[in-house]
Structure 1
Amino acid sequence: MTDEAAQTHADNPYVDDPPTDFDPVEALSEDAAREQAERLREAVRYHDHRYYVENDPAIDDRVYDALFSRLRDLEEAFGIQTEDSPTQRVGGAPRDELPDVEHVAPMRSIDQGGEAAEVREFDRRVREGLEATDYDGEIDYYCEPKFDGLSVEVVYENGVFQRAATRGDGEVGDDVTANVRTIPSVPQRLRGDHPDFLAVRGEVYMPKEAFQAYNRELVERGDDPFANPRNAAAGTLRQLDPSVTAERPLSMFFFDVLDGAEFDTRWEMHETFPEWGLRVCERTELVDDVEAAIDYRDARLEERDDLDYEIDGVVISVNDTDACDELGTTSRAPRWAFAYKFPARSEHTTVRDVVVQVGRTGRLTPVALMDPVQVGGVTVSRASLHNPAEIERLGVGIGDEVRVRRAGDVIPEVAEVTDAAGEGHFEFPEECPVCGSPVERDGPMAFCTGGLGCRAQRERSVQHYASRTGLDIEGLGEERVQQLLDAALVSDVADLYELTVEDLTDLEGWGETSAENLVAELDDAREPPLADFLTAVGIPEVGETVAASLARHFGTFEAVRAVDEDELQAVEDVGPTVAREIREFFDSEANADVLDRLLEHVDPQEAETDTGDALDGLTFVFTGSLDGYTRSEAQDLVERAGGSATSSVSSNTDYLVLGDNPGQSKRDDAAEHDVPTLDGVDAFEAKLREEGVEIAA
């Protein structure tokens, strides 16, 4: 710390044991507010440096939060924000796109390999290369972890953060200035005796613990988690809305100068960066020779699981910068550096957490969140534990090492515990983790009894209601539904019909046209066919086939809602289990409340209940969209006439009906099994009339 900085530190009351009992903002003059704000900025920068760079906080979080809040209140009340104020980390306005930006200097990649022999060959090339020059110094190596994150260029002018860009193609990257500004470990203003201009390279990453916590949130709300911290960091850094980036836990290490400063050695650079406020990795070392560099890599491999950041190897660089200059670069990589990679993690990993997901039907599914691992060439960070009985069978708990496999080569699952390092198996909750309702066991599985009174089940039900297997409401995919849920515009399916154009245009990404189109789509979905409605409301065990059978048998929604289990079992495709599930769904008070509100907006159409036998013994399969019919309407027409409608073509299929944009696989199956095709609605209706089926004009 310079003498001037030390004096500033001593004169600032918010550095050591700062007071938090401030006078009311309105009691200050603008001059007094400006003076206090500047001291608070100074102090907050100091405390950020102590926390993020030195890892040695000087005050507790409560006091820091009070200083930060006071600074923000002053800036907002008097309009005195500055570009480099710590309060600007919260993010600015969303952007339509990330512009390109040309780097100050090329951001080259590094030659790499995974064998010690390749590192020794690198050392041989370095020594032979320097022998051919005038360089006569010692060759030692600067060794640092190879961070598995996203490489970024950060530029400072007169010590103030100006811009940041991703590596891109090495010459041009994405402008992520607004997003990098939100990262707490990136200083908005440099400290100490820094250059007037400085361009540095660093790695943005998501700490492992924060990654697992963030993935937990995603899994709990039914979203796909990120495969690994690198993907999470990259996805976050490329957000168009910086406020989203600000909410996600990113950090950064700095490791190289691109322009603006020169050092005799890379070690000197490593020691100088913290003096400027730039965070460096504490596991960087200087070694005498290549064998010590190999030992360094092996030590990092041993401890990689204990670090709070992902590394996938180490970078070994010639320490002396004159020697680096003599060696030069190829068109893509420096000749003075080599990345010694770790072997990929394969199959064995550690369980860091267990999350219990609540599905649309209330089924509770435990999911293991793990350190990312390669399984069958795919990186996975979560695996299904299926149900409480499977947890008990495996004896799996948090902290255990497990072997992971991909069931059916698709779905990752925990196959066995290889090292029970945790404290016993995970205890399955007796209450729903979302709504607190009692959990009921049904054989090996567990269910929340809260019905649509459970927020998770309500949210899943909204997604299902709008999906292709529901009412197929165009413009209301999963991301849009989640946005409406997050904005508290929708909490259950009934709320969809109360959305207005004004509600939607207030949200990011919605224009007048898209909002009007969705409202029109919802209006068109106010009188759905009964079978479609029964499928859409999400009754457990009721898919398209059972819904069509219920519609044909009872004719109206009110009738389906009122029947008892014995009457339900008289319906084709409905056995004791399905009948019980249907009856429990309608008997739930929470479900009844939502359905009553939904029926204020929706009028399910009465279904034709007369069943003929004109198509008895004939099986139809549909592909593509039929003009004038929904898929369920066409299937219902066949089934009401005694025929069968199935989803796949086999040797038992009599006709494949081709709509617009038909699937190629079903056409191929039809050709293989010599199944006749009916091309379009006219051909379909003609076949029905030929078989004696009456079709309304």
Structure 2
Amino acid sequence: MVFKYNMTHSEAAERVVKLKKEIERHRYLYHVLDKQEISDAALDSLKHELLKLEIEFPDLTTSDSPTQRVGGEPLAEFLKVKHSSPMLSIEDVFGFEEIEDWLTRVQKLIPSAKFDFYAEIKMDGLAVSLIYKKGVLDAGSTRGDGNIGENVTQNLKTIEAVPLKIHEPSEKEITDFLHWRKQSSQEFHENKLRDFLKNPAELEARGECFMPKKAFEMINKEQGEKGEPLFANPRNAGAGAIRQLDSTVTASRHLDFYAYALMTDLGQTTHEQAHKLLKLFGFKTNPYNKHCVDLGEIEKFHKFIMKERAKLPYWTDGVVVVINDNRNFDKLGVAGKAPRGMIAYKFPAEQATTVVEKVEWQVGRTGALTPVATMKPALIGGTTVTHATLHNLDEIERLGLKIGDTVIVAKAGDIIPKVLEVLPRLRTGKEKIIHPPNKCPICNADVKKEKSATGESVALFCSNKNCFAQEKEKMIHFVSRKAFDIDGLGEKIVEQLLNVGLIATPADIFTLKQGDLKPLERFAEKSAENLIAAIEKSKNIILSKFLYA
């Protein structure tokens, strides 16, 4: 039985408005200003009262109500969204010399400019865009391929740090911002801010959704207790949560959010001002981010965050450095898919020690055999690592590696695991020499040795041009994201189609029919229909992807 309030409709409407304002006020205090005036229990009680009133008076429920963060039927699929401007990637650098080289490059493009910078902690999450119309969250989307993302509004609403309605700043808050602006001596067009305050037609903010460390530990504990696979890292777990068709699953993952870009022109002329304005309108911004006058301050900030990152409640893999002046940033333009006026100054690859248990040889699409070490699990940069590439026979000899050795493993660029060094003093005498194969591990054909083009290294190749592994890898390359990008045609499906003889060359993919797929394991009518549709869609391809394929 639902308790009913002894209120008229107008009294309930007035109470609902006050409750929503009060709940939003405490959200703003907690997430934006890092203050807490009332207990979580008291805030939950306010939310519960609001929910009961909305149940009793359904017409008082609005899309920006705190009760609407979780709800609605699970979606059938995500709709595609075209971004107002591309959500670009960022070029990585790994040392101070590379940062200096970057500054030298951009200085050549604008010789007269005197650059200052804004430094931000590089979050290890999922980039999203938030669009507000008349102050209310209207749409939220993922980065996708940079131009087109997926509409995940229903899921983003479940994140408390994402405002359902932009904060209406008081005159004192506006005055404080303008006072800061004068002290900073940065140009600012106040009339644009005042115009927006009168008519907040549309605002776009971008930022990073991420899974805090505590939430990651909690979800993996739950996965373990249920006997389900653990998530490799918070980024994968967070990205997976955002792409759930059922928003209740997203809500259970306890994600967080930091805003880092204001796409709407509110008079800002610097990136620092954009961060101040984002905070003014109720968006959570990272309190560590700061203005830096030169590269010396950037280096100090980088070292400080690298030292402190173990204590931070989230994973980070570096610092993003942005040319602060917007006009200079825009003048520098874009190189490839990355803006020239921004760089990611990554932390050195994290390292760990582990033991090599075996070495297997994988056959690539050119027939080259690559040794891959299987190791005891090691946690590096938030990811559990069990495999590392050994590149070629020369690398094994250079390292002096044996099976059973204790090794130092790093994630080069925090992505690809690599064996850096062997610790021979930890040997027991039971280690085994790694012998290169004489026969291909897939087709049993003879293995031949060939020198590289430079003559500096020796590679092993399968002599059988029709080796199944080569054919499979060629097919996987052909359908990969950078090539024909056929959604749903992954490694296991490619292998299955080759095994049953439905494809032998890439051209065969385009002759497949639904009737060919339906009898196969893993395929039902809908999945067969989806794959044929994806193949048909892939026929429209740009030249660069075609050549890569």
Pairwise TM-score range, normalised by the shorter structure: 0.5 to 0.7
Query: 1:199 — aligned with what?
Result: 204
3-state DSSP class of the match of 1:84?
coil
In the TM superposition, residue 286 of structure 1 has moved relative to its aligned partner by: 1.1
In the TM superposition, residue 267 of structure 1 has moved relative to its aligned partner by: 1.0
Residue 141 of structure 2, aligned match among 152, 165, 177: 165
Query: 1:95 — aligned with what?
Result: 75
Q: Which amino acid aligns with 1:95?
A: L
Q: Which amino acid aligns with 2:55?
A: E
3-state DSSP class of the match of 2:334?
coil
Give the conservation status (yes or no) of the 8 Å contact 1:239–1:245: yes
Does residue 59 of the first structure (1) align with residue 64 of the second (2)? no
- Aligned mates of 2:218, 2:260 — CA distance in 1: 27
Q: Which amino acid aligns with 2:40?
A: D
Query: 1:313 — aligned with what?
Result: 318
Matches within 5 A, 1:453-602: none
Query: 2:25 — aligned with what?
Result: 46
Q: 1:369 to 1:90 in 2, by over 3 A?
A: farther
- Aligned mates of 1:86, 1:278 — CA distance in 2: 16
Query: 1:189 — aligned with what?
Result: 165
Cα deviation digits, residues 252-282 of structure 1 (max 9, x gap)? 0000123343411111111121110001001
Query: 1:128 — aligned with what?
Result: 108
- Aligned mates of 1:74, 1:369 — CA distance in 2: 49
- Aligned mates of 2:384, 2:329 — CA distance in 1: 36
3-state DSSP class of the match of 2:127?
strand
Cα deviation digits, residues 202-224 of structure 1 (max 9, x gap)? 00001101110111111111111
In the TM superposition, residue 347 of structure 1 has moved relative to its aligned partner by: 1.9
Q: 1:57 to 1:263 in 2, by over 3 A?
A: same
Give the conservation status (yes or no) of the 8 Å contact 2:262–2:275: no
3-state DSSP class of the match of 1:27?
coil
Query: 2:84 — aligned with what?
Result: 104
Instruction: Give the number of the structure whose alpha-carbon radius of gyration is greater.
Output: 1
Query: 2:119 — aligned with what?
Result: 143
- Aligned mates of 1:661, 1:241 — CA distance in 2: 29
Does residue 375 of the first structure (1) align with residue 388 of the second (2)? no
Give the conservation status (yes or no) of the 8 Å contact 2:210–2:238: yes
Q: 1:268 to 1:378 in 2, by over 3 A?
A: farther
- Aligned mates of 1:264, 1:40 — CA distance in 2: 37
* TM-score relative to the length of structure 2: 0.59
Residue 231 of structure 1, aligned match among 232, 236, 240: 236
Between structures 1 and 2, the one with greater strand share: 2
In the TM superposition, residue 90 of structure 1 has moved relative to its aligned partner by: 1.6
Count how many residue pairs are aligned between Structure 1 and Structure 2. 345
Q: 1:368 to 1:43 in 2, by over 3 A?
A: farther
Give the conservation status (yes or no) of the 8 Å contact 1:198–1:261: no
Give the conservation status (yes or no) of the 8 Å contact 1:91–1:179: no
- Aligned mates of 1:231, 1:270 — CA distance in 2: 27
Cα deviation digits, residues 26-52 of structure 1 (max 9, x gap)? 311222111111110111001111112
Residue 213 of structure 1, aligned match among 214, 218, 223: 218
Give the conservation status (yes or no) of the 8 Å contact 2:315–2:382: no
Does residue 156 of the first structure (1) align with residue 166 of the second (2)? no
Query: 2:50 — aligned with what?
Result: 71
In the TM superposition, residue 325 of structure 1 has moved relative to its aligned partner by: 2.0
Query: 2:99 — aligned with what?
Result: 119
Does residue 301 of the first structure (1) align with residue 306 of the second (2)? yes
Q: 1:146 to 1:368 in 2, by over 3 A?
A: closer
- Aligned mates of 1:265, 1:223 — CA distance in 2: 47
Q: 1:120 to 1:57 in 2, by over 3 A?
A: same
* TM-score relative to the length of structure 1: 0.47
Q: CA RMSD in A?
A: 2.9
- Aligned mates of 1:341, 1:313 — CA distance in 2: 4
Matches within 5 A, 1:245-284: 245-284=250-289
Report sequence identity in percent.
36
In the TM superposition, residue 117 of structure 1 has moved relative to its aligned partner by: 1.6
3-state DSSP class of the match of 1:344?
coil
Structure of higher RCO (CA pairs closer than 8 Å, 6+ residues apart): 2
- Structure 2: runs of 5 or more not aligned: 170-196, 355-376, 390-407, 411-498, 500-518, 522-549
Q: 1:348 to 1:315 in 2, by over 3 A?
A: farther
Q: 1:237 to 1:368 in 2, by over 3 A?
A: same
- Aligned mates of 2:353, 2:24 — CA distance in 1: 42
Query: 2:7 — aligned with what?
Result: 28
Q: Which amino acid aligns with 2:51?
A: R
- Aligned mates of 1:230, 1:60 — CA distance in 2: 30
